[in-house]
Amino acid sequence: MANNTMKEIAEVLLDAQSVLIFPHINMDGDAVGSSVALCRQLRKLGKDCWILAEDAMPGNLVFIGQGYFTEDHELIKNADVSVCVDCGAFSRFPARKEKFLEGKKTVCIDHHQTTEEFCDYNYVDPMAAATGELIWTLLKEMGAEADAEIGQAIFAAIATDTGNFQYSNTTKNCHLIMAELYDWGVDTNKASVEIYENERLEKLQITVKALNTLEILGDNISKAAVAHITLADMDACGAEPAETDGVIDKLRSIRGVEYAAFLKEKEPGVIRVSMRAKRRGNVAEIASKYDGGGHIKAAGCTLYMSMEEALAVIKKELEAAAAAL
Ligand code: AMP
Ligand code: MN
């Protein structure tokens, strides 16, 4: 994978007048935070810039994203640059593929292990804990100065993708950026309350429902935890799509569990699979077998089959993976 330099990517953006930013579907803190930070800096530089989404933003991230997102494909026509952030394949922004390619130049800024070079300019660093880290470097390259709103977006990106600086992807660089964010005027407590302590009761209810389906597989040494949720469950709880996001972390947190999988029915016959590994193991490898991808310890894929069939497929994979540890 041949990366461009950040300087080259900064120059492409500085030369542009109009820029469209493309986060992945099922936006998370890193996708939203990275997109907002870049969008705000480009607007400050006088550029016409929007983040084009194809689904709703999770409620707990709305506080960083107001005024930057649109689903209107007509707002910018033939953008000088299309940038995809926190994703590196058309399958990660399927309904916006044509729009992305309409850009006169295309750029990818991502940190997924499974991303392959597919744009005119690419910066993919699987060692980065969050795309927000890469955006931070890019902003510096573009001459960005202290800005609390940009800082808050970078904070959200890095804090969420590192599990609040707990996961093994957390590095000194994450903390160095955090240290500087204090100088940028970021209120980390306020942002944390917005992100983590402002949940709807429906989210707790759907989590309870999911945990009631918990199955533990494997032996005493290394176990796998699997849970699932159907469309009927979502309806019954009145939960929004992103409100199942925390379930997978609960599964991984169980003592002895090395692998976790959460299966969610998106439509009849379409099952979204989220997978995690704890200390050892590689879920990106498993996801890749089913046209998905991600990181070694956090990956996902979509299975086109019934929930029963999908559960059988994933349980077999995780049982074998746990036994091999
Ligand atoms: P999730 O379980 O949806 O939180 O996804 C775990 C990680 O894998 C995230 O960083 C996702 O961006 C990434 N990921 C999920 N699905 C895919 C996919 N189909 N292709 C590439 N990366 C993915
Ligand atoms: Mn990310």
Q: What does the block give as tokens for 72?
A: 């209107």
Whose C-alpha lies nearest to ligand 1, atom 16?
300
Residues of the chain with pLDDT under 70: 1
| CA–centroid distance, residue 47 to ligand 1 (Å) | 30
**What 8-state DSSP symbol labels residue 4?**
P
The predicted model scores a pTM of: 0.93
| CA–centroid distance, residue 112 to ligand 2 (Å) | 7
pLDDT attached to residue 1: 57
Three-class secondary structure of residue 52 per DSSP: strand
| CA–centroid distance, residue 299 to ligand 1 (Å) | 5
pLDDT attached to residue 222: 84
Ligand 1 contacts (CB < 6 A) are 24, 26, 91-92, 112, 114, 248, 274, 292-295, 298-301
**Ligand 1 atom closest to 274 (CA):** 2
- Domains of the chain: which residue ranges? 6-196, 201-324
227: left (phi over 0), alpha (psi -120 to 50) or beta: beta
pLDDT attached to residue 2: 85
User: What is d(CA 133, CA 209) in angstroms, rounded to the nearest whole number?
Assistant: 35
Pocket test for ligand 1, best of 35, 61, 84, 92 (most atoms within 8 A of CB): 92
pLDDT attached to residue 219: 80
Angle subtended at Cα 137 by Cα 116 and Cα 109, rounded to the nearest 5 degrees:
20
| CA–centroid distance, residue 44 to ligand 2 (Å) | 24
> For the chain, where are the E strands, in sequence order?
18-23, 48-52, 69-70, 81-85, 105-110, 121-124, 215-218, 223-229, 257-267, 270-277, 293-294, 298-303
Which residue, among 129, 125, 117, 224, has the nearest Cα to 178 in the 3D structure?
129
Q: Are 88 and 294 in contact (CB under 8 A)?
A: no
pLDDT tens digits, 278-292? 998 999 999 999 999
Q: What is the DSSP string of 188-209?
A: HHHHHHHHHS---HHHHHHHHH
Angle subtended at Cα 273 by Cα 267 and Cα 277, rounded to the nearest 5 degrees:
170
Q: Are 254 and 278 in contact (CB under 8 A)?
A: no
Q: Are 271 and 305 in contact (CB under 8 A)?
A: yes
Q: Which ligand is nearest to the CA of 300?
A: 1
**Ligand 1 atom closest to 275 (CA):** 2
Please state which CATH number belongs to domain 201-324: 3.10.310.30
| CA–centroid distance, residue 133 to ligand 2 (Å) | 10
**Ligand 1 atom closest to 272 (CA):** 3
Rounded to the nearest 5°, which phi and psi values hold at 93? Answer: -145, 60
Whose C-alpha lies nearest to ligand 1, atom 6?
299
Q: Which option is the CATH number for 6-196: 3.40.50.11540, 3.90.1640.10, 3.40.50.10470, 2.60.40.3680? A: 3.90.1640.10
Angle subtended at Cα 45 by Cα 71 and Cα 152, rounded to the nearest 5 degrees:
65
User: What is d(CA 260, CA 253) in angstroms, rounded to the nearest whole number?
Assistant: 9
Whose C-alpha lies nearest to ligand 1, atom 11?
294
Q: Which ligand is nearest to the CA of 86?
A: 2
pLDDT tens digits, 207-228? 999 999 999 999 877 899 999 9
| CA–centroid distance, residue 131 to ligand 2 (Å) | 5
pLDDT attached to residue 197: 95
CA atoms lying within 13 Å on the CB side of residue 142: 27
Which residues lie across from 257 on neighbouring strands?
A: 223
pLDDT tens digits, 163-215? 999 999 999 999 999 999 999 999 999 999 999 999 999 999 999 999 999 99
